[in-house]
Chains A and B, each alone.
Chain A
Amino acid sequence: MTAREIVLKTKDVAAGYGGGDIISNISIDVEEGQIFTVIGPNGSGKSTFIKVLAGLLHTRVGGISIKDEQITPLAAPERVAKGLAYVPQEYNVFPNLTINENLRVSTEFLKRDRCATGEQRERVLNMFPEIATRLTLRAGHLSGGQRQMLAFACAMMAAPVVLLLDEPSAGLSPKFVAEIFDRIKAVNRTGLTVVMIEQNVKEALRIADTVMVLVNGATRLSVPASEIGSTHDLHKLFLG
């Protein structure tokens, strides 16, 4: 693999909610165009880590930078403007807004350069035909899978540099799971960098470039995806 530019970098990050640190000492380097997957047991701090990246949770120690620019002090709205788009694990759409309003509100408050053009909107709607046909429906009436698609679409509207996905396949039927990973791979091929959390290890490894295993809030392993199956025993990593 050729050395590509590092778009997202964290250095010794620690964070938590009120009490002690939930995650600590996390350093990652995400190269441009990669799919970087974080796996780990329930409660190991994966969502916490991605919330720190998105700016929803205060970074207690360490730094985060995007394309060599420090973004640690920035709050969530400013980080979107810097090109980080985040799809939360749950509650990822505005249920009382229509699909169309959900899409619009995703970019209306960003700085000029990320404000969705008609073209970007077209592109996103083409990518997600199932929501494009029902623009006036309230998002609260959508099924789980459709919500996931809408949330994904909303994140894409801002033409992000890095897409942060928290368990995109959670709660989806197996058919949908394959489908959503295909979409992720598809947007990744257009050059978008993806940081993704997954429980669905097998499917996730299919598309991942790099895998980080997070256990008890600490990095247990961070290797190219191809190595995982052959040289490491996942069970052992997860448990011990």
Chain B
Amino acid sequence: MTAQYIFNGFVSGMILALPAVALTLIYGILKFPNFASGAMLTVGAYLALIFNVYLGMPLLWAAIIGSLIFALIAVGIDQAVFRQLRERTAITLLVCSMGVSFVLENIARFIFGNGARSYDLAIARPKHFFGLRINNEQIITAATAVAAMIVVYFILRHTALGRAMRAVADNPSLAAVRGVRRESIVRWTWAITGTLTAVAGVLAGMDRAIDPLLGWNYIVSTFAAAILGGLGNPVGAVIGALTVGVVEETSTLFIPPNYRQVVSFLAIALLLILRPQGLLGAAKIKK
């Protein structure tokens, strides 16, 4: 059943696409790979859990409210932490994002403990199309991820905010002399990033158990996806994520499923040796 694996890989690639795009947006504007992306995903999953399980809301509403709140949290983290380090090197920001990651992950651990949890979601019988077994969660995941990608693409291509985000990514001081206030663009970028990552958290939480290490399970794959797409290129990140999803899933035909992240790591290493600009790197014009 190779087709089934490829299909499952596509769907898990879609979950991955959200944090990969988020990573890419932040990399574009602030020029550092955000190591807290995994922990942010975890917190996003727990926020929706609060509204869904503890307050009894349907998961859809829980996810919407949770991700909007997390958008604010992401902006707050930026203001409190990363803003203080704006003029420092990428490596400093990176080390700092590791600190942020510990804080977020352990706030979740403090409140919810190490035990695995799951959303209240009616279990539907899987459907069968063309010999593929497709379950309800996969449909929700695909629909949500595609919708999110379209929205982000629209923002980037067709709105003033998107143009400004790309302008700041290209050349922040030129953007400043064209009247773009970098700080406000940075805040919006974190808001979008926070939303995307939290939504990914909910999708991940539907796919597997929610525990404090939920996001950690995606971190290497997320980086693999972003690097595959040439760090800083959102469309590339989506393609990278789908590729990583499919490769990881089909690799389980040959090696134990626990080694998915190992596959991703090898993919990064191979890519960096063979084509360091990323698969789609050429699309991005330097200078």
Among B54-62, B159-167, B247-255, which stretch is in contact with chain A? B159-167
| Chain B neighbourhood of A54, CB < 8 A | 177
With A97-B163, A140-B285 as contacts: A77 and B180 at CB distance below 8 Å:
yes
Q: Which residue of B lies closest to A93 (CB)?
A: B174
B137 at the interface (CB under 8 A from A): no
* A99 adjacent to chain B (CB < 8 Å): no
Distance of A175 Cα from B13 Cα, bound (Å): 53
Query: Contacts A95-B285, A140-B285, A158-B179: A76 and B164 contacting too (C-beta < 8 A)?
Result: no
CA–CA, A88 to B170, complex, Å?
15
A156 to chain B, nearest CB (A): 12
Binds B, one of A23-31, A106-114, A181-189: A106-114
Task: Tell me if A56 is interfacial: C-beta within 8 Å of chain B.
Answer: yes
The interface centre, meaning the residue of A55, A93, A101, A108 with most chain B CB atoms within 10 A of its CB, is: A108
Alpha-carbon distance A97/B167, docked complex (angstroms): 7
Are the CB atoms of B160 and A109 closer together than 8 Å? yes
B287 at the A interface (CB under 8 A): yes
Cα distance A105–B285 in the bound complex, in angstroms: 18
Query: How many residues belonging to A are interface residues under a CB distance threshold of 8 Å?
Result: 33
Using Cβ atoms and an 8 Å threshold, which residues of chain A touch B181? 75, 77, 109
* Among candidates B163, B167, B173, B286, residue contacting A56 with C-beta atoms closer than 8 Å: B173
Within 8 A of B (CB), among A63-94: 75-77, 79-81, 85-86, 88, 91-94
Contact B284 A107 (CB under 8 A): no
Residue of B nearest to A158 (CB): B179
Q: What per-residue 1/0 map shows which CB atoms of A91-130 lie under 8 Å from chain B?
A: 1111111000100111111100010000000000000000
Instruction: Indicate if the CB atoms of B177 and A107 lie closer than 8 Å.
Output: no
Contact of A94 among B160, B167, B179, B286 (CB under 8 A): B167
By a CB distance below 8 angstroms, the chain A residues around B176 are: 55-56, 75-77
A100: shortest Cβ distance to chain B, in Å?
10
Name the residue on A nearest B283 (C-beta): A96
Is A138 an interface residue, CB under 8 A from the partner? Answer: yes
Does B88 have its Cβ within 8 Å of any Cβ on chain A?
A: no
For B164, the chain A residues whose CB sits under 8 A away are: 105, 108-109
Q: Are A77 and B179 in contact (CB under 8 A)?
A: yes
B136, CB-defined interface residue at 8 Å: no
A109 and B180 contact, Cβ closer than 8 Å, known pairs A94-B166, A104-B163, A138-B285? yes
Closest 7 A/B residue pairs (Cβ): A140-B285, A76-B176, A80-B179, A94-B170, A109-B179, A108-B160, A95-B285
Q: List 12 A-B contacts (CB under 8 A).
A: A54-B177, A75-B176, A77-B181, A80-B177, A88-B177, A94-B167, A107-B178, A108-B164, A109-B180, A109-B181, A140-B285, A154-B178
Known: A56-B176, A101-B163, A158-B179. 12 other contacts (CB 8 A): A77-B177, A79-B177, A91-B174, A93-B174, A94-B174, A95-B286, A97-B166, A105-B163, A105-B164, A107-B179, A114-B179, A140-B287
